[in-house]
Each structure stands twice: as C-alpha cells, then as structure tokens.
Amino acid sequence: MTINIIDLSNILVNGENFGAVADAIANNPGLASDIQTALQEWWTKQQQSFNDEKEQMIAGQQQAIIEAIANANTQSAAQIAEYQAQIAALTQELESLKNPPTLAIDWANFRLGMLNNEAYQRLAIAIIGSSNQGNWTITTLQNVVAMDSPRVDLLIRFWNAALLLTPIGLEPNSTEVDLWAEIARQANVPISFESSGIMIRS
C-alpha cells in the first residue's frame, strides 16, 4: 500500500484521493496507523524544507554583511562593529536551527492535566461504555499515560485509536482540542492536535 500526502487536504492511497487527512483517518480506521506514520514523515519533511530555506536565507545575509565590511573603507569603526554584531546574531540563529535545544518533557504535569481534563473524562466514559473494544482501548491508553516516561508513538497510537471509537455526536469541539494542545505545550510533549482531536507528532 502506498500513501502519499500532498497536503493536509489531499491524501492519496494507492493513487486514489481520500480527501483531507483527518477525514481519511475518521472514515478508514483500518488505515489510521499507516496514515499517521505517513503524516509524521510528511511533517518531518516540511520542517526540514523550512529549515533548509531559512539556513540559505541566513547564509545569504551573512555573506552580504561580510561583503559590506570588506568594502567599508569609508565606514566608521562603529558601523563595522554593528556589522560584526549582526553576523554574530545570524550565526547564533543558524546554529539554533542546526542544533535546536531539547526541552525536558514534563510527563507528570501532562498526565495530571489530561487525566483531570473534563473533555477527556467525558470521552473516556462514552468510549468505555460503547463497546468492549472501547473499554480495552481506553484502559490501554491510560496505562500508557501512567508510565513514568511514556513512548510518544504509543501515546499517539492509542489516543487516536480511542478517539476513532467516540460515539457519534460526542466528538470533541475546537475549544476542548485547543485545551489539550495547551496542556501538551506546557509539558513540552512533542505532539499537536488536528481540529478533530487526532494527535500527531510535532
């Protein structure tokens, strides 16, 4: 099976357009895991492309300043010092792109925030009551979250598996999804959410 994500509104599965990524996942639960994997790869490529373009832009700015300094025979020492300060700032920005700082994940606060979240509790109760599969999936998800240092890929897999079992009419709204995203952001967990509540790696 070949999955090709053109953008978030167009996903091809074996050459057939399945529409938006979120719709493809919701309408084809059997493909959810494969689509999530393809989506993570797509996001990684998009971020790398952005970084490459920014690195080229910064390198061009650096070169322009170096040339300005080389032709600065008539410029003051203060102006040359300003050029040098600009080069130092650009060099630091370029280094941060190549070696971004890694923030420690605060799993304790993430766990506390999510498990005590009213929207999550509402969905969990509804999914558990919907079927034996729902009960097993929520139990497994909570076991993953309860780990001292959960694996992000497992968290994403079981979160999305549970979300796809949400009874019709009880889906999370945008305010609830935004709150989940904020809980993850504050805890430095490398995930984000689509508008439907689907979790992706960021």
Query: Is 0.75 surpassed by the pTM of this model?
Result: no
**Percentage of residues of the chain with pLDDT beyond 70:** 85
Q: Is 170 helix (H, G, I), strand (E, B) or coil?
A: coil
Residue 97: pLDDT band (50, 70, 90) is low
| Average of per-residue pLDDT across 79-101 | 70
Q: Which residues pair with 10 in a beta bridge?
A: 7
Higher per-residue confidence, 81 vs 193: 193
How much is the pLDDT for 98? 64
Better pLDDT: 99 or 152: 152
Q: Token digits for 176? A: 């609830």
* pLDDT of 76: 67
pLDDT at 4: 82
Q: Tell me what pLDDT residue 53 has.
A: 76
Q: Is the pLDDT of residue 101 over 60?
A: no
Higher pLDDT, 152 or 47: 152
Q: What is the pLDDT of residues 152-186, one digit of tens each?
A: 888 999 999 999 999 999 999 999 999 999 999 99
How far, rounded to the nearest angstrom, does the alpha carbon of residue 162 sit from its chain's CA centroid? 19
pLDDT of residue 47: 67
Q: Which two tokens stand for residue 202?
A: 């960021």
Q: Which residues of 181-195 are buried (b: 16+ CB within 10 A; e: fewer)?
A: bebbeebebebbbbe
CA distance 45 to 51: 10
Contacts of 202 (CB under 8 A, 6+ apart): 43, 190, 191, 192
Question: What is the residue whose two structure tokens read 């504050």?
Answer: 186
Specify the DSSP class assigned to residue 30. G
For residue 52, is pLDDT > 80? no
Distance CA 202, CA 195 (A): 15
